Amino acid sequence: MDPKQFRKKLLKDWSLKGGHLFAKHWPALYAWIVRAFIESSTGDRAVGSEFYRHIFEILEWGRRIWSDISKTDRGVVFELSFVRGVKRLYLTALHEVIIPCGPEDK
């Protein structure tokens, strides 16, 4: 499933069924983070940064929607520390797309 399809399904499930069912998607979100990291590190950097962009949008959306819900109910993926970590990875990936720094890029 590509990032756009996953995001559409995730947001639809969450809005229709409630946040507790959103938790079933967390492993997929974590897998996305790993895939984005691998793509950014060894594969296509543009693909990695695209994955990070979608992940970051989902996390920011969740933080806005669930801002008044307790951490226990919404989960740690929406904590600022987790979002900051993803944002840092995203910014690093964008930097590598814009300014290639590996020996194969010279």
Q: Is residue 66 part of a domain?
A: yes
Q: What is the pLDDT of residue 70?
A: 78
Residues 6+ apart with CB under 8 A from 35: 48, 51
Domain count, the chain: 1
Residue 26 within a domain? yes
Structural domain span for residue 18: 3-100
Write the DSSP string, 71-95. HHHH-GGGSHHHHHHHHHHHHHHHH
pLDDT tens-digit series, residues 19-43: 555 566 677 888 889 999 999 888 7
Residue 105 lies in a domain: no
Burial of 22 (0-12, 13-18, 19+ CB in 10 A): buried
Model confidence pLDDT, tens digit, residues 59-82:
998 888 888 877 777 778 888 999
Whole-number pLDDT of residue 66: 80
Whether pLDDT at 51 is above 60: yes
